Chains A and B, each alone.
Chain A
Amino acid sequence: MGNFLNVAPTTLLVIGVLMLTALAYVTARRRAMTAAGGDARKLHSLPGYYGYNAAMLTAIPAFFVLVIWLLVQPMLIQNAVIEMIPQDAISDGSSVNLVMSDVRRVANGLTTAVDAGALSADAARDISVTDTDVRGLLADNGVALGSDVNADVLAAAQRYRSMQTTGQWLMIAVIAAVALGGAFVALRATTVDFRARNMVERFVLGLLMIAASLAILTTVGIVFSMLFESINFFKLHPWQDFFLGDTWAPNFRGDSDLSILPLLWGTLYISIIALFVAVPIGLFAAIYLSEYANNKVRALAKPLLEILAGIPTIVYGLFALLTVGPFLVDLFGRGEDGILGVDWMSGATSVLTAGLVMGIMLIPFVSSLSDDIINAVPQSMRDGSFGLGATHSETIRQVVLPAALPGIVGAILLAASRAIGETMIVVLGAGAIARISPNPLEAMTTITTRIVSQLTGDTDFASPETLVAFALGLTLFVLTLGLNVLALYIVRKYREQYE
């Protein structure tokens, strides 16, 4: 029995509370019906609500206490046990944490030994280092220790075990009491006039509110996780170098140059090329689809173009690396053998490679958003222009586009924000060399690429070379957020104009 409980007392407790919850539901429902003399119409709420109310009061407080208990108990035990270890027992080069993990290992070892039957429960509590070879004993039971167990650690471990056992029983008792108490209160309240539905609905509303605020929690999580590590980074690295330096040269032996400017240059250069591809194509496609195309063409071309937006970015990345890059090398980089006979490009990864492919990816973003916006321009404005004798294209250029301009600018800003935050295309297509150069055929690197390379593989969260990724992430977040807020503001303002 004791063994069984040691395996998973918490799991058993959860199952117990759940069973009690089900019991409370059934009992409260029946009690309500009895109170109403079997006539549900006499009750304030439907009988099920009395059941739900009881189940709620049984389970929620109990699980709440359980979670708190599981978080707090280890801390309390640790504090109590640490006090037992005298300062001089902590040898040089060691720390309280290391000793504590020894204590835990010995305690777990003793438990394993008791379970295996190598030690009685009383013996585990009473053995001492002077008359037992604890290390050998534990090793026999599969717990290998780095050094001999000293008396203080053993005593601490024994104390740790006893506190843990006490804590466990106490937890079971308290939670059982809370659950039973909840069930009791709910059953006592179950009378004909009790407003069970209102109680249950208030609780459900609370759940809905918690779900809705999770969005805020995510944002807070994003900001704080990056902010704290960024602050750590700026403690280790001068901010002047980060924002104003001109070299990016991480060096894991320390003394790195970590400046964002070369990365920002690469990011913006690639994004601008992408926009040069995406904006004309996307905008003209949107104009044709919304102004000229008949329904058949529209129904076919629009979803086909939107497929481009549904293709995962890893596919575009591979396309850049293995198709567009080599093609550009054939075009610009093969010297005499090449198509143009020039030798300007040395590798498949370049700003142009990534920019072109990213441009293709952005076409549907620009076209769908602009399409919506052009369609929102009232027909009366076009009719007015036609009535004055303007051709269709003149109407579009001189009436529709100026009217839609703010919205289109918003769409372009949204596309720009996507381009800046895009990762896979630049990781595979842009290269890894940080430099500020005007030549689009050279490999350059971007903010997102560097975040990936600084945070993958073995990372040491105490070195500025790793922490810089968080500062880069925060910059990226602020940059894209700014663009989005601006774009949404413009689009919203524009929409109001014609509503």
Chain B
Amino acid sequence: MTDHTTPKNSLLRQDARTVKRNRAETRFKAYGIAAIAVGLLMLLILLTTIIGRGTGAFQQTFLTLDVQLLEAKLDKKGNRDLEDIKKVSTFGYAPLMAAALEKKVADTGIETGLKPKDMAAILSKDAAAQLRDFVLENTDLIGSSVEFRFLTNSRVDGYLKGRVTRESIANDKNISTAQLDLVDALIADGALEKRFNLAFITGADASDARPEAAGMGVSMLGSLFMMLVVLALALPIGVAASIYLEEFAPKNWITDIIEVNISNLAAVPSIVFGILGLAVFINYMHLPNSAPLVGGLVLTLMTLPTIIISTRASLKSVPPSIRDAALGVGASKMQSVFHHVLPLAAPGILTGTIIGLAQALGETAPLLLIGMVGFIASNPPDGIASGLLDPNSAMPAQIYEWAKRADPAFYERAWGGIIILLVFLVTMNAIAVMLRRRFERRW
């Protein structure tokens, strides 16, 4: 009988120290995997939170009602004079809706102990304005019955979305369990349902009492005008500065100072640019408060270093042989740069610019200081001058504004706003990546 176990001092058998070292090796590698996993997990949690909480904002609860546009209430003189009809305020329209809801309840045989006025409280405060706007546009329909789809109160909307429950409204003055019973009956009837809400994307912000009517549209325009300012200023100035520094600047202390300056500006906290904007553009130059023009100027200063750095990188990547060839056939230095180097660097410059713009689009802090928050951005700009100079919000500022209002219905809209903002950012970055893939040239 021979013993087949390996001898004690075999090379195939790891000694205790090697085992320990190998274990340390495995552990070390596991730390790395764990670190990446944690990072990716955080990303996953963040994205699922955004999508999970934000998609609700794109749906809204509507109640479909047939409203009798009574002539006796809306146009007492009966002559369809627009000025007379305008005199009826939204308060004059409220009874019409209450009556319509009462009729609906009676028709479908819903049992409720609520008074018509309390029944109508499940509708949004915006509904009367919606009705009034419709009547002012279609005065010829007064006297007839028209089907409307009204926004409901944010509590009712929250009830359908699971945010509001019968338990959670115990101390809520805005809604009662009796009203929720009515809501349940109306859902069963099919008159009350959740639908896609385009107004969230295109509409204006609304006051504290009407979260269900608030939308991102106007602040999107504010962001658009800011981005136009940034593009119109940061791109030419950034490219000109990069061309000078990369192609013409002599190596001396002044150029050194400029270079150090640019790399430092890129790391200055964004809020400092906000202070600069407040002090220089608003207090000193007296440009209007809250105007997208001022926002655009501040973001231009903030984006310039990013654009300069990426433009210089793409100018640098154009090989010197191109310049030499141009100079060789008699072009001047300026001609070689503008006719040959710049076109070849253009895709890289464009990519850098788009990424810089995406950064500027998501920036919030400087906008707080130049007054783009704290009011209700409800008037869409008419025309370019008004778009640049009239007070407006911007997408991230609007999201902040909603987050501050401390109402779950507005929180949902803030998350929804983030989805819209991220869609823009992802699109811009995707375009930048595509441009890079499509036009990037390896020399």
With both chains docked as a complex, state the minimum distance between the C-beta of B53 and any C-beta of chain A, in angstroms. 8
Provide the bound-state CA to CA distance between A420 and B272, in Å: 12
A470 interface residue (CB < 8 Å to B): yes
Residues of A within 8 A of B50 (CB): 315
- B42→A363 contact, CB < 8 A: yes
- The answer to whether B272 touches A473 (Cβ under 8 A) is yes
A396 to B21, CA, bound (A): 13
**Shortest Cβ distance from A202 into B: residue:** B334
Also in contact, A292 and B32, with CB within 8 A (given A318-B415, A322-B411)? yes
Additional 15 contacts, C-beta under 8 A, given A310-B358, A391-B25: A209-B244, A211-B238, A211-B241, A211-B244, A226-B272, A226-B276, A281-B35, A285-B35, A288-B31, A288-B36, A308-B39, A391-B24, A393-B29, A396-B28, A480-B268
Residue A157 at the B interface, CB < 8 A?
A: no
Instruction: Answer whether residue A18 sits at the interface, using C-beta atoms and an 8 A cutoff.
Output: no
**Inter-chain contact B369/A421, CB cutoff 8 Å:** no
User: Residues of A at under 8 Å CB distance from B?
Assistant: 197, 201, 204-205, 207-209, 211-216, 218-219, 221-222, 225-226, 229, 280-285, 287-289, 291-292, 301, 304-305, 307-308, 310-315, 317-319, 321-323, 360, 363-364, 367, 391-394, 396-397, 414, 417-418, 420-424, 427-428, 448, 451-452, 455-457, 461, 469-470, 473, 476-477, 480-481, 484-485, 488
Instruction: Given A318-B403, A393-B28, answer yes or no on A211-B35 (Cβ-Cβ < 8 Å).
Output: no
The answer to whether A452 touches B365 (Cβ under 8 A) is yes
* A448: contacting residue among B27, B53, B265, B365, CB under 8 A: B365
Tell me if B414 is interfacial: C-beta within 8 Å of chain A: yes
The answer to whether B403 touches A221 (Cβ under 8 A) is: no
Q: A212-B240, A318-B399, A488-B263 are in contact. Are A305 and B280 (CB under 8 A)?
A: no
How many A-B residue pairs have C-beta atoms within 8 angstroms? Tell me.
Answer: 247
B269 with A448: CB separation less than 8 A:
yes
Q: Report how far A360 CA is from B415 CA in the complex, Å.
A: 19
Binding site for A on B (CB under 8 A): 21-22, 24-25, 27-29, 31-36, 38-40, 42-43, 45-46, 49-50, 53, 236-238, 240-241, 243-245, 248-249, 257-258, 261-265, 267-276, 278-280, 283-284, 301, 304-305, 308, 332-334, 358, 361-365, 368-369, 371, 373-374, 396, 399-400, 403, 411, 414-415, 418, 421-422, 425, 429
B25 proximity list for chain A (CB < 8 A): 391-394
**8 interchain pairs, CB-CB under 8 A:** A216-B257, A225-B276, A292-B32, A313-B363, A313-B365, A318-B399, A418-B269, A488-B264
Report B403 CB to chain A, min CB distance, Å.
5
Instruction: Quote the shortest CB–CB distance from B65 to chain A (angstroms).
Output: 34
Contact partners of B240 in chain A: CB under 8 A: 207-208, 211-212
Nearest-neighbour CB distance to chain A for B46, whole angstroms, equals: 6
Q: How far is the CA of A218 from the CA of B32 in the complex (A)?
A: 42
A319 neighbours in B (Cβ, 8 Å): 46, 49
Q: Is the CB of A310 within 8 A of B429?
A: yes
Could you tell me the distance in whole angstroms from the C-beta of B25 to the nearest C-beta in chain A? Answer: 5
- Provide the main secondary structure of the chain B interface: helix
Write the nearest CB–CB distance from A447 to chain B, whole angstroms: 9
Q: Is the CB of B42 within 8 A of A312?
A: no
**CB-CB < 8 A to B245: which residues of A?**
212
Cβ-defined contact, B265 with A218, below 8 A: yes
A308 and B42 form a contact (CB under 8 A)? yes
For the complex, give the distance between the alpha carbons of A391 and B23 in Å. 11
Check if B364 sits within 8 Å of A313, measured CB to CB. yes
Q: Which listed residue, B400, B411, B421, touches A424 by the CB 8 Å rule?
A: B400
Closest to B26 in A: A393
Contacting B265 at CB < 8 Å: which of A215, A280, A452?
Answer: A215
Chain B's closest residue to A452 (CB) is B368
Contact of B365 among A204, A305, A308, A423 (CB under 8 A): A423
Q: Which residues of B contact A484 (CB under 8 A)?
A: 263-264, 267
How far does the Cβ of B420 sit from chain A's closest Cβ, in whole Å?
12
Report the Cα distance A226→B284, complex, angstroms. 13
If A304-B43, A315-B418 touch, whether A229 touches B279 (CB-CB below 8 Å) is: yes
Q: If A204-B334, A215-B261, A312-B421 touch, does A473 touch B271 (CB 8 Å cutoff)?
A: yes
Q: Is the CB of A281 within 8 A of B280?
A: no
> Nearest Cβ in chain B — how far from A459, in angstroms?
9
Complex partner residue of A284 from B32, B42, B332, B411, CB under 8 angstroms: B32
Cα(A160)–Cα(B379), bound, Å:
38
CA distance A119 to B369 in the complex (A): 46
Q: Which of A208, A305, A451, A456 is within 8 Å of B241, CB to CB? A: A208
Given the complex, which residues of B lie within 8 Å of A308, measured CB to CB?
Answer: 39, 42-43, 46
Within the complex, the shortest CB–CB distance from B224 to chain A, in Å, comes to: 16
Q: Is the CB of A421 within 8 A of B270?
A: yes
A68 to chain B, nearest CB (A): 17
Which residue from chain B places its CB closest to the CB of A222 in the assembled complex? B276
| Most chain B beta carbons < 10 A, residue from A205, A292, A304, A423 | A423
